[in-house]
Chain A
Amino acid sequence: MINKLRTTRWWINHHLYWKFLLGLAVLLALTWPFAWGLIGLDQWTGESEFNSARELLVPSQSLILFIGILTFLTFRINKNPLVKQEHRDLLIRMGWHADKPLPFGTCFFTFTDVIAISGLFALLYARIDIQNNQTITDAYTHLFGTAPDIILWLSLLSCIIAMTFFQWMTAILAARRRVVHILLLLTLPVLIVYPHFLPSLSLMAFVLIHLTSRWVIQNNLKHFVWEKPYYDVNPVKRLRDEAAKSKLILAHFKRLAPRMTRKPTSLGIKLLVALLVCWWCDGLIGILEYMYKAAATYSAEDNFSANFLPAARDPLVAENMLWTISFHITVVPVFILNVALASWYMARFLVTGPIHIYARPFNFHWHIRKFDAILLTPILSSGLCLTLFWLANLQLISPRCFLYLSILGTLLIQWAVAPSAQSWFFTWNHSLFIGKQPDPRKQLNTQTIEIKIDAT
């Protein structure tokens, strides 16, 4: 009987999180003496900065509630062994598998969580609505029509959105080794706003994302321990730590851990990812167009979009904005990345023996193909973006066409021309890091290991 009672207590601790909620309630209660104390101090000093305690209570309590919601969600997500390496190691060590429940409680949101989070959101919205003279109520009415219990519905809605977002993030983390899952998870959020931004459709997209994320997490939990990359309890990290300690080049670990080699991504997947990126950017433009149309349709008084983005009401400003955003999501990152890459590589030219910029004339090696090839990608992708930008500026291609071509072109150049991650790895490790060359005496110890390096 005693053990049954203990089991019940254990269950309550695991599922109701009453300690957390109690702590939050205590913090909220403490805001009252805090507010009254400040008011008292204010009156005593005679400055009278605050008219009532509400001016202090509402923002402080809202902040506590908001942080509380984030903490709660983070705490729940942290239950997932995929988030924490140590947790994963423990489960692997103890032989956990998906047939058994997780020992520290489920990592999925439960009905209890929905009640707790919705309740916290309800408190938060009630506070904000009082403070801002029912702005939330007005916005909700605009989007969904009138509703009798706005705060209740809005709290539930926010709870679903917040849980979905956190679960989606965990799913992305969980799916990091499966390209198809990642593509699916990155594609679905675009459906919220694109091609049609309607509240009911967006809500359906949220539900779809929630279910898909849950499925991805479940799928990964089912397999994660026994998949090869996880089988060695994150061998890459462990070996890199060892590498850092021993100051040896990383390439040797490839020799000693043949399982670390990954299958190269196929051209079809690369093309799919490039098209997906184009689609996301198109979605971004779609949102801008939606706002522009909304601004043109409604009057300023009752237009939520126009209040949100007054500039969208001006067609010229909207066109400029489209251009600015296209430019910033294509040309600017491409330039920054390429300049960083080229600078990083060029910096090695000044310090590393075989490809030393001063050594080259003496060796009559002005151009060393396999090392200098790395500069080809920055030159080509920057050149492409500049050419397209020039063509667009002459109005030979539309902004949207510029966007598609520059994104697609840059990504394909990166994948087709730039050295693969493996060859890059070997190139810079073998040739471009001074002081990290292997000790020949230590190399003798690797004689029994089969060495297979694709020297690039």
Chain B
Amino acid sequence: MIELIDIHHHYSVKPTLRDINLTIPTGELLCVMGPNGMGKSTLLSVAAGLFAPIKGQVVIDGMVRRSSIETEKAIRKKVVYLPDSPWLPSSHTGREFLFAVGRLYEVDEDRLFDHADRLLDVFDLAGKADSPMSSYSTGQKKKIGICSALITDAPIMILDEPFSGGLDSSALLALQQILKHFAQRDDTTILVAVPVPELVEDFADRIAIIQDGRILACDSSANLMQQTQTQSLSLALETLINPQGRHHIDRYFEANA
């Protein structure tokens, strides 16, 4: 379970997160959405323990993040965080990287090798698995980053925009299926930031909409659509985040005409 209690965070004097209270029970997949620059990545970084919030605390399975070294070590054993652009050691091969990450999470060797093979097949990386990562394309780097998060078998996953960064349609579909599978399980908690609603509306248990560092709404996609009286999640989001959006588009075309 992830609990974000009264979180405030600032970059310089600019408030990035304000009064965030969010609980993600075990087994839930919560998707964070919102316009760019509104604090999605910061929220995930705070949840991942990379930033200490100015105010408030993050509780993972009853343990307060950053409260002590022992607690933080125990938390990090069960949490994997995938940043938007993860660092990959360029001189190592993709397979070596996956093994290294798996070993950090003390995954059993046999399971590690088999899982790595299957992940590499799923993301169409088998042919590049034994080449240095410096030779990978942007999309392939993104794929190997996703594989590294999945290979850990961590019960809590915090994924920052896993769908972005040049993934091909096959990889998008594969990731969707994998997240859908995790969403159906009761032992894996996932906090994921996604900019496009269509990618996750089928399987996200709840969607948190964040704007100006505050949570505007947090509910299932069906409830969000019902609240906004719209037919799709995209329209629901637009209604909540940018009610003037439709008007601006109409005005743009009127002027062009």
Contacts and interface: CB of A to CB of B under 8 A. Distances in A.
Interface of A: 2-3, 6-7, 10, 13-14, 75, 86-87, 89-97, 100-101, 103-104, 226, 231-233, 239, 242-243, 246, 248, 252-253, 256, 259, 438-439, 442-443, 445-446, 448-449
A443 B76 CA distance: 36
Given A3-B110, A93-B48, A95-B77, A246 B89 contact: no
A438 B81 CA distance: 35
The listed residue with most A CB atoms (<10 A of its CB), out of B48, B76, B86, B114, is B76
A232 B110 contact: no
A393 to B, nearest CB: 53
A448 B10 CA distance: 11
A246 B15 CA distance: 13
A3 B100 contact: no
A430 to B, nearest CB: 15
Contact of B76 (A95, A248, A253, A438): A95
Interface string B42-80: 000000101110110000000000100100110111011
Contacts of A446: 10, 13
A104 B86 contact: no
Given A104-B92, A232-B51, A90 B12 contact: no
B14 interface: yes
B69 to A, nearest CB: 5
Contacts of A3: 109-110, 113-114
Given A87-B87, A93-B81, A248-B12, 17 more contacts: A3-B110, A10-B99, A87-B89, A89-B87, A93-B76, A95-B73, A95-B77, A104-B92, A226-B72, A233-B50, A239-B11, A246-B12, A252-B13, A253-B12, A256-B10, A442-B14, A445-B14
B99 to A, nearest CB: 6
B92 A6 contact: no
Interface centre among B73, B81, B106 (most CB of A within 10 A): B73
B11 A448 contact: no
Contact of A246 (B11, B54, B91): B11
B48 A13 contact: no
A248 B87 contact: no
A103 B104 contact: yes
A423 to B, nearest CB: 21
18 contacts: A92-B50, A93-B83, A94-B80, A94-B152, A95-B75, A103-B103, A226-B69, A246-B11, A246-B14, A252-B13, A253-B12, A256-B10, A259-B52, A439-B13, A442-B14, A443-B13, A445-B15, A446-B13
B105 interface: yes
Contacts of A449: 10, 54
Contacts of B206: none
Interface residues on B, range: 35 or more
Nearest to B113: A3
A445 B213 CA distance: 13
A2 B113 CA distance: 10
Contacts of A97: 73
Given A104-B89, A252-B13, A449-B54, A95 B104 contact: yes
A44 to B, nearest CB: 40
Contact of B12 (A13, A93, A95, A242): A242
Q: Which of A93, A246, A439, A446 neighbours the largest number of chain B CB atoms within 10 Å of its CB?
A: A93
A95 B72 CA distance: 8
A256 B66 CA distance: 17
B142 interface: no
A239 B11 CA distance: 7
A236 B64 CA distance: 24
Contacts of B205: none
B64 to A, nearest CB: 15
Contacts of A445: 10, 13-15
Interface string B184-202: 0000000000000000000
Interface string B95-118: 010011101111001100110000
Contacts of A243: 12
A231 B66 contact: yes
B175 to A, nearest CB: 20
A228 to B, nearest CB: 11
B8 interface: yes
Contacts of B109: 3, 7
A232 B13 CA distance: 18
Listed residue (B8, B13, B52, B106) with the most chain A CB atoms within 10 angstroms of its CB: B13
Contacts of B106: 100
B86 A90 contact: yes
